[in-house]
Every structure is written in C-alpha cells, then in structure tokens.
Structure 1
Amino acid sequence: MKVKAFDHIVFNVRDVEASAAWYARVLGMEREDSRADDGSTRTSMTFGNNKINLRPISASQQAWFTARTPAAGSVDLCFLTDTPPHAVADHFRALGIAIEQGPIIKKGARGPIRSVYVRDPDGSLIEVSSYA
C-alpha cells in the first residue's frame, strides 16, 4: 500500500468563526458549512481540490473522532500558489498580516520554493510558497 495524496486535514482552532474568516480573507478559501450526524454544524474551508475542516478545540472527543491531544495553534503547513512571493508579501502587508519570514528560498517536495511565512489566528505557522 502506498498513499498518493491528502483528501482533507483538520485544524483544531479556538474560534471557528475567526479562523474561517481569516482563511477566506487572507488566503481566498471558500467556506462550506454542513450538518454532522449529531446535528452539529461542521465548517470546512475549500480551495482547489482540497479541504480543511475547522474543529473547535472545545468540542468533545466523542463529537469528533480526533487526535488524542488536540491543540489549537500546533499546525505548520505550506500552501502553494502561482502568485510571485513579492506579491504574496504585498498582499499580507495590505491586509495588516505580520510577515514572520520571507520571501525566502526553502526546499519543497519538488525542489526549491520561494516562501512567505505568517501566522493564523491560533498562531499556527502558515507558509505560502511558489515554485520558480
């Protein structure tokens, strides 16, 4: 057996509304709300063929089948874009988002990438990168 891709990932967040708004405003993702089997609302952020589920850290372990010790702000994730890194940095600055690092060249899965690093509302490290 060999995996080929992610289907979706789950971010544990303190405030679903704040996180959904940030990912939509800052990274251009689309919000999608759905009803779970237990009647609760689940919020996802979609982009391309990908999806991030936003799990409130206050949710019970029974309501969400999840990691043993879920924690908000513990994600380090790299998103790819076709936007040049200087334009990514300009976009973040225009929105008042503090740049932690970059643009800087890093090593991606397929070779060198040009990256800009910011933090989401929970403090997770978000890298936005492009291949040359």
Structure 2
Amino acid sequence: MKVRRIDHIVLTVADLEKSMRFYHEVFDMPVLKEQNGDDLITLRCGHQLIRLQKAERPTDLKAAKPTIGSADLCIVAGDNLDDIIHHLNSYYIEIIAGPIEKHGAEGQMTSLYVHDPDNNLIEIAVYKNK
C-alpha cells in the first residue's frame, strides 16, 4: 500500500455549533455544505478536512469509544507568529504553551498550543523558510 496523506480527521465534540464557530472563526476554516447535517459538520483545513461529530452520532462507522476532548493535532499556519498571537488574543484564546521550537514532518517549526472548546489540544505550527 502506498499511503499518500491523511484525507480527514473526525473530532468528537459536545456542541457541534460551538465547535464549528470556533474552527470557522478562529482558524478561518470554510464550512462545507455538502456533508452538513444534524450529526456531522465538515470543515476544510488546507487540503484536508476536519469533521465534527457528537459521541452519540447514529452510525457504526466511528471509533469504538469516541471521546470528547481526546484529540491532539497540529495545524500548519501560513502567517507569521506575531500575527497569529495577535489573532488568537483578539478572540480571547488562551495560548497554553509556546512559542516552542519543534521538528515536524517538513522540518524545523515553531509552535503555539491552544485548547478548542472541548479541550482538544491544538498545536499551531509555522515552518521555518516555508
């Protein structure tokens, strides 16, 4: 098998609308209409998708124990770090760690860490020389 990339991730959330507003407003992720419904919201994150679901979503195609607040993911930003910090502050988003120098899939990066409304850990990374 030749794996190319991750297509999407699914986050289990307590409140679909609240989480959708957070990812749409804070991270400027467009909400896609084609998959939206009462139990699933899809947002575009670069070339990938983030889907939001509630734990009780009526489907067999989900994790065995979908748990609110158990995700830890990294998104890559195209802005400079000072602008990102200013943007997060303007939304009253607490930066819980960072800036921290890290090594990611494409090399050296600097990361900030925040929590989403469900306490999922969101790492915001800016790559050096990218």
TM-score (structure 1 length as normaliser): 0.88
Q: 1:1-132 to 2 correspondence within 5 Å?
A: 1-34=1-34, 42-60=40-58, 63-132=59-128
- 2:87 partner letter: H
Letter in 1 for 2:79: T
Contact preservation (8 Å) 2:11, 2:53: yes
4+ residue runs of structure 1 moved beyond 3 angstroms? 33-36
Distance 1:6 1:99, change over 3 A: same
**How far does residue 40 in structure 1 lie from its aligned partner after superposition?**
5.2
C-alpha deviation, 1:34, in angstroms: 3.6
Total equivalences in the alignment: 128
Residue 4 of structure 1 and its aligned partner are, at CA, apart by: 1.2
The DSSP-based 3-state class of the residue aligned with 2:57 is coil
- Structure 2 unpaired stretches of 5+: none
Query: What is the distance in 1 between the residues matched to 2:108 and 2:98?
Result: 14
TM-score, normalization by structure 2 = 0.90
State the identity %: 35
Structure 1 residue runs of 5 or longer lacking an equivalent are none
Q: What per-residue deviation string (whole Å, max 9, x for no partner) do you get for residues 70-117 of structure 1?
A: 101111111011111121111111110000111221111122111111
The aligned amino acid for 1:58 is E
